[in-house]
């Protein structure tokens, strides 16, 4: 009871969804940048005197100087690893319905567990050594 055409349709819709999400994100960033530059354009049209500080503040992107909280990585690692275990367990049930695909589902679960473990390691590393920015190393 294999339906290759149904699987192909699901695969096509998956990639269409990924494309739509990616393009929507790019459009959002572009529009956000346009709105950020709008005051600069209006000031130039009205002949306002613009200092380099004002231009840098209007054109420059926001820089984040806060440190990464290791607890957030810990929570993300726990959730991701647990979801990976759940997906890996789902492979048991997939093997009953679509036997050839249970290896694929098991592989996806294992990848999620590995990502979760990586987040847990990153959390422990940040807790142990603190956070340092690359600029701190150059000084």
In this predicted model, which residue has the larger pLDDT, 138 or 53?
53
Instruction: Say which residues have a Cβ less than 8 Å from residue 101's Cβ, sequence separation at least 6.
Output: 94
List Cα–Cα distances, 139 to 44, 132, 135, 136, in angstroms: 38, 12, 7, 6
| Residue 93 shares a structural domain with residue 54 | no
- Give the model's pLDDT for residue 99: 85
* pLDDT of 79 over the 60 cut: yes
Q: Give the 3-state secondary structure of residue 37.
A: helix
| Residue 55 shares a structural domain with residue 87 | no
| Residue 59 shares a structural domain with residue 81 | no
Tell me the pLDDT band of 48, cut-offs 50, 70 and 90: confident
Look at the chain and report how many structural domains it folds into: 2
Q: Which residue has the tokens 């100087």?
A: 65
Q: In 3-state terms, the chain is what percent helix, strand and coil (to 5)?
A: 80, 0, 20
């Amino acid at each position: 009871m294999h339906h290759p055409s149904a699987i192909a349709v699901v695969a096509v819709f998956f990639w269409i969804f990924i494309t739509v999400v990616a393009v929507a994100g790019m459009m959002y960033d572009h529009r956000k940048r346009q709105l950020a530059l709008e005051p600069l354009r209006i000031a130039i049209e009205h002949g306002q005197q613009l200092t380099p500080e004002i231009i840098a503040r209007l054109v420059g992107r926001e820089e984040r100087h806060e440190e990464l909280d290791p607890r957030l990585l810990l929570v993300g690692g726990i959730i991701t690893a647990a979801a990976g275990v759940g997906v890996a367990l789902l492979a048991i049930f997939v093997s009953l319905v679509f036997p050839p695909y249970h290896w694929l589902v098991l592989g996806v679960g294992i990848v999620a567990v590995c990502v979760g473990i990586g987040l847990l390691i990153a959390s422990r590393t940040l807790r142990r050594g603190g956070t340092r920015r690359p600029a701190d190393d150059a000084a």
